[in-house]
Every structure is written in structure tokens, then in C-alpha cells.
Amino acid sequence: MTRQLTDRPRAAVEPKPAPTPRARWSARTRRDFFVFLALALPNLLLIGVFTYLPLFNNIYYSTLDWTLGSASATVVGFDNYVTFFTSSDATKVLGTTAVFTLITVGGSMVLGLLVALALNSKIRGTTFARSAVFAPYVLSGVGVGLVWLFIFDPGYGVLAWLLRGIGQQSPQWINDPQLSLVMVIIVYVWKNLGYCAVVYLAGLQSLPQDVMEAASLDGANGFRRFVSMALPLLSPTTFFLLITTMLSSLQAFDLIRIMTPLGNGTSTLIYEAYLQAFGAFNRAGYSAAISVVLFAILLIITVLQLRFVERKVHYS
């Protein structure tokens, strides 16, 4: 088509000769080769140096007994892993990570689905409400953490005031290790449920309307239609959210750092790795070992995703 639109000589688009090894390196191919490198190489190098290289360095560092900032290190093999898994740290940190991840994932997905159902209606104002519930997701974790820390403040926080109103003392959110975990979980869910809501809403809006209408003509009520039709049809969305929210919960840092700087009861794997290297101890090797454990967990989840997504939890 386009050839007819131009009056340039046709030679420019003459079909290429058969790709013999020599012909593949024609002047034009060679030019394209360098054009590609000129365009893509800076980005690819940066990704290589700051994304791929650290993975290998981490594994190497994890075999060292090394104080951050010190010039010398001794190779200790798997000692750091042994130390981690045999200490009481492991059960505590892995337990905290599991509790934090499961509750934040479950909480933001269930609440997100409920909000999505509320948003999926014909009434006016849903566009505004959708943006509103999504907003916390894009805000700085540090800022959000401070705002909620003030709300949870046992002395002068809004929550303490509300509790006094019904004759209760405010719990010690910050000093009690278990409560501080609860507090961080609540704020994390608040910040992330909008993401689940918007993704679920997109899923709800792509449900086949004819099927849903047929069910409603057959007399299935709203709840029935939701449980036995919408929910199974949404399973790809649910699976996608399960994986993505799990990956981000496992990497949650900002809120934990700002709300519980000492990791008092909130030391998840990522936070423990941070504290060990950049807290008081400067144990670089040990921290790297914890990072590798975290990476292994994240890798398993990602691989699971890739395996299952291909054969889809799908009905259409």
C-alpha cells in the first residue's frame, strides 16, 4: 500500500537477498546493529549492573563474616545461614513475616473486593470514589506512616480519644510488640486496598454480561449470583492479586521503618535484613544471607505464578 503512495525509487525497498551468512552482515544490517546498541545499551547496562549483579553479589556476601565498612572479611561458607536458621531469630522473623504477609494480603483483597462491588454500580460519584480509595496507594509511605502514628498515639491520638469516649484506655500501640504489628498491618491494608479494589473493579466490569443476566432471569439473587458466578469468573483476577500483593507485602519497608524504627515485633525478613546491615550491628554478611532467604521466597512465588498463569484458572 504505502509503496504506491510514494514516488521515490523502488530500489529502497527491494526485497533482501537470501540471508546467507555474508549477506546478513550487509551494510544496513550492520548499521541497525549499532543503532540498536546505541539506543538500548545504556538502559541494559544499568539494569545489568544494578539489578542482576546485586543478586550474585548478595549470594557472595552471604558467605562472608563481614562487618559493613571494614576492609577485611573471612569466608565462612554457610555459617550465616546456619546462624540464622538455628537462632531464635528465624522463628520470630519468619513468623512475623508470615503473619504480616497473610493478614495484609487477605485484608486488602477481601476489603478491596467489597469496595469494588460498591464501586461497580450505576450511581453517580463512583468515578470520584474510585480515585479516592486509590489515592493512598500513591502516597509516600513515610508521610502516611507519620499521620497514622499520630492517630494511634496512646496519649493524644484520635483513637485514644474515641476509646476514652467509651470508657476505655488506649492500648500501648507503639510499645507492645504484638500491638505494633497489628497497627502496621492496619495502616498497610489502608494504604493498599485501593489497588485491589481498582483491579477487582476492572475484573467485575469485564464479566460476560449475558451470562450474568441469564442467571438473574433464572431467579438467582444478588448474593447467589456473586458467589456462584462472579467469584469463580474472577479467579484469574484473584490469582493475579494474590501474587502481586504477596510480593509487595514481603517487601514492605517504609511503614515499618517509620512506625516502628526498632522493629519491635515488626521485624519481617526485609526489615531484619535492613536492621542487621544498617542498624546497630553492621553485620553485612548476615544481612545478605537474610536477603537471599527473602529472595528465594519471592522467586518461588514468582515461579508459581508463571506456572499457573499459563494454564489459567479460567472459564472462557
Partner 1 sequence: MSLLSPVSPDPAANAGPAADAFDADPGIPPQRHRPFSRANLVQTLAGGYLPLIVATLVVFLPLLWMVLSSFKQPGEIITMDLKILPESLNFENYNIAMTTVPFAQFFLNSLIVTGVGATIKVLLAILTAYALVFVRFPYKNVIFVLILVALMVPPQVSILPNYILIAGMGGKNTLWGIILPGLGTAFGTFLLRQHFMTLPGSILESAEIDGAGHWRRLWRIVVPVSVPSIATVALVVVVSEWNDYIWPLIITDRPETMTLPVGLTLLQNSEGNGSGWGILMAGAVLVIVPILLVFAALQRYIVAGLTQGSVTG
Positions 227 through 246 that interact with partner 1 (CB under 8 A)? 230, 236-237, 240, 243-245
**Which residue's CB is nearer to partner 1, number 22 or number 88?**
22
Q: Rule CB under 8 A: choose which of 76, 94, 182, 309 binds partner 1.
A: 309
**d(Cα 243, Cα 249) in Å, to the nearest integer?**
10
Q: Is 11 in the site for partner 1 (CB under 8 A)?
A: no
| Region binding partner 1 by CB under 8 A among candidate stretches 77-85, 90-98, 101-109, 267-275 | 267-275
Q: Which stretch binds partner 1 (CB under 8 A): 79-87, 94-102, 134-142, 176-184?
A: 134-142
- Is residue 139 part of the contact set for partner 1 (CB under 8 A)? yes
Kindly state the smallest distance separating residue 62's Cβ from partner 1, in Å: 10
Name the minimum Å distance from CB 300 to partner 1.
12
CB 230 to partner 1: min, Å? 7
- Tell me the site size for partner 1, rule CB under 8 A: 123
* 122 binds partner 1 per the rule CB under 8 A: yes
Residues 30-59 that bind partner 1 (CB under 8 A): 32-33, 35-36, 39-40, 42-55, 57-58
Interface stretch with partner 1, choices 70-78, 97-105, 177-185, 284-292 (CB under 8 A): 284-292
Q: What is the DSSP string of 133-192?
A: HHHHHHS-HHHHHHHHHHHH-TTT-HHHHHHHHTT-PPP-TTTSHHHHHHHHHHHHHHHH
Q: Are 63 and 80 in contact (CB under 8 A)?
A: yes
Cβ(178)–Cβ(265) below 8 Å: yes
The residue among 88 and 223 lying less far from partner 1, judged by its C-beta, is 223
CA dist 122 and 286 (Å) reads 55
Compute the distance between CA of residue 94 and CA of residue 58 in angstroms, rounded to an integer: 20
- Pick one of 65, 99, 176, 295: the residue that binds partner 1 (CB under 8 A): 295
- Given 138, 167, 307, 311, the residue binding partner 1 (CB under 8 A): 138
Candidate residues 98, 142, 227, 262; the one interacting with partner 1 per rule CB under 8 A: 142
Considering only residues 164 through 203, tell me which ones interact with partner 1, judged by CB under 8 A: 164, 190, 194-195, 198-199, 202-203
Alpha carbon distance 142, 246 (integer Å): 21
Q: Which of residues 93-112 bind partner 1 (CB under 8 A)?
A: none
The residues near 181 (Cβ < 8 Å, ≥ 6 apart) are 96, 99, 100, 265, 266
